[in-house]
Amino acid sequence: MATGHDHFDVIVVGGGVNGTGIAMDAAGRGLKVLLCEMNDLASATSSSSSKLIHGGLRYLEHYEFRLVREALSERESLLRNSPHIMWPMRFRLPHRPHLRPAWMIRTGLFLYDHLAKREILPGSRSIEFGAADPLKADITKGFEYSDGWVDDARLVVLTAKKAQQFGAQILTRTKCVKAEQGASEWKVTLRDMTNETEKTVSAKAIVNASGPWVSRLFGETLSMPAPKMIRMVKGSHIVVPRLNKDTEAYILQNEDERIVFVIPYEDEFSLVGTTDVDYEGDPRKAKISPEETDYLLDIVNAHFKRQLGPSDVVWSYSGVRPLMDDEQENAQKASRDYSFEVNSEKGKAPLISVFGGKITTYRKLAEAATDKLCQFFPEASGRWTKTATLPGGEFDNHESLEQKMRGDFPWLSERVLSRYVRTYGMTAYEFLKGCTSMEDLGVNYAGTLYEKEVEHLVKNEWAMTSEDILWRRTKQGLYATESDVEALDRYLMKTAAPETRATDLHHSA
């Protein structure tokens, strides 16, 4: 890592949705920001969600009305600001009378419709299922309501890009190994995880947004006791062949009072999840257990005509949610709310730590955290993110952009065009510039992933490994063979890694 001493207003530790959200907000208010992430952006919890922008219908049963109201009001702001990676989705809830009576569901949906103002999303309604539906014949009635879909990992990357556009320095594969609190600033040691070199920087304030590591960072790096502990809860998902041809998702009730989503995923698949299991150990090593796989398959098989077994699971992933430890007996009842701890003793540089949170409220969390941060920076400007468009989102909807791109790139295949729209939006024009045929996109590595896109991801989105590209940036790992991955690894080894580090270090100098 380059030598020298850089000074910042704020150092954000953690490259998940909360860390990048705070970095973006603070940089947009005029603060000099550095964000460090010890792995890839969104490499832990933030890429392992159920991919939903939702109020949390089931949280109403736990009386978390403030959290649900805040999340519901955020849905439409996010859908407007990021139409490429977020879009409305209708959810069908099959009615199981012995689990929840119809009046209870109707009451919950009425609250869901009216706790916050809706302009984009239609309200709920009762529905009937027939022979053409994918559900079993004994399931005849249900309900339908609106929420939203999000590509979670891309949300994190694009938020980091927006932060960078405002001058923030984003250092991936860079671990904060030591932070010493002085009277007016923090002295911070950063380690480049690719070559083990270290660099010292300083900042007036630190934000600990390290997700599952938030409590651990206090003892290991900050040399102080953690003000509170988090509860680590593992949530696992499976991806299976598409269970329904239509565009709606399903929300399934289970005998243990939990719910499981079945969501259309990447054209040919369905995403099924999630579980709630208390977890101890390294969050990076979280994996689905056979019991979790069986649990999810059993719920699906209880509802759908098509019966699935373990051999139908195309892919699975697990993430550790850092929830506030409210001492609930069941992991599923632990709050998805968030809180901050501000360490600002007189004569000490301030530290703000983020506990809990969920993707839907990430912008509100970042705004609230940055408000607290700006108490120490009176020159900072005010709130701005509610209407801020993320990079590539400068268009109205998928249909209008697809039509425009068909006119501009008539040679582009429909599958590639559709994915570029929902992955990059207007940014696709940057790497399609000068291309006049599919051949101009270069080598095809897997699915709809071509060399031009890989170049773009390495140069502009901090991608360094095949996993970064195939799973977090594009989801084309679903179509990749072992030889595809090896070919991409060879290409990246030859060209990507040196360029990426050089770019990062250039920005950090």
Crossing angle of the two packed helices 65-81 and 102-114, in degrees rounded to 10: 60
Residue 110 confidence (pLDDT) above 90: yes
pLDDT at 99: 84
Reduced to 3 states (helix: H, G, I; strand: E, B; else coil), residue 225 is coil
The distance from CA 257 to its chain's CA centroid, rounded to whole angstroms, is: 26
Which of 21, 78, 28 shows the shortest CA–CA distance to 55?
78
Q: Are 10 and 33 in contact (CB under 8 A)?
A: yes
**In this structure, which amino acid lies at residue 133?**
D
Cβ count near 483 (within 10 Å): 9
Condensed to tens digits (0 to 9), the pLDDT of residues 354-408 reads: 998 889 999 999 999 999 999 999 999 999 999 999 999 999 999 999 999 999 9
β-sheet bridge partners, residue 181: 186
β-pair partners for 93: 143
91 vs 113: CA distance, rounded Å: 13
User: Is 501's pLDDT higher than 50?
Assistant: no
Residue of higher predicted confidence among 243 and 322: 243
Q: Which residue has the tokens 């994918």?
A: 134
Regarding beta strands 198-208 and 5-13, do their DSSP bridges make them parallel or antiparallel, or are they unpaired?
parallel
Q: What residues have CB less than 8 Å from 378, skipping those under 6 apart? A: none
Residue whose pair of structure tokens reads 């103002």 in the numeric block: 117
- According to the CATH classification, is domain 5-45+154-229+335-387 in 2.60.40.420? no
pLDDT exceeds 80 at position 325: no
Is the CB of residue 370 less than 8 Å from the CB of residue 205? no
Spatial CA neighbour of 30 closest among 349, 352, 384: 384
The Cα–Cα gap between 95 and 250 comes to 11
Evaluate if residue 255 carries a pLDDT over 70.
yes
In the numeric block, which tokens belong to residue 424?
């990059």
Place of tokens 């702001």: 77
Does the structure show a pLDDT above 70 at 4? no
Q: pLDDT band at 336, cuts 50/70/90?
A: low
**3-class DSSP string for 131-151:** CCCCECCCCCEEEEEEEEEEC
Residue 506 has pLDDT above 80, yes or no: no
Structure tokens at 508: 């950090």
Query: What SS3 state is found at 130?
Result: coil
Residue 134 pLDDT > 80, yes or no? yes
The 10s digit of each residue's pLDDT in 273-310 is 999 999 998 999 999 999 999 999 999 999 999 999 99
Span 24-74, pLDDT tens digits: 999 999 999 999 999 999 999 999 999 999 988 888 887 788 888 889 999
Chain segment 409-439, per-residue pLDDT in tens: 999 999 999 999 999 999 999 999 999 999 9
Q: What is the pTM of this model?
A: 0.93
CATH 3.50.50.60 fits 398-508, yes or no: no
* Backbone dihedral angles phi then psi of residue 144, each to the nearest 5 degrees: -135, 140
Residue 495 confidence class, pLDDT cut points 50, 70, 90? confident
Please tell me the predicted confidence (pLDDT) of residue 500: 44
Each domain of the chain, given as residue ranges in start order, spans: 5-45+154-229+335-387, 398-508
Task: State whether the Cα torsion 502-506-154-45 is positive or negative.
Answer: positive
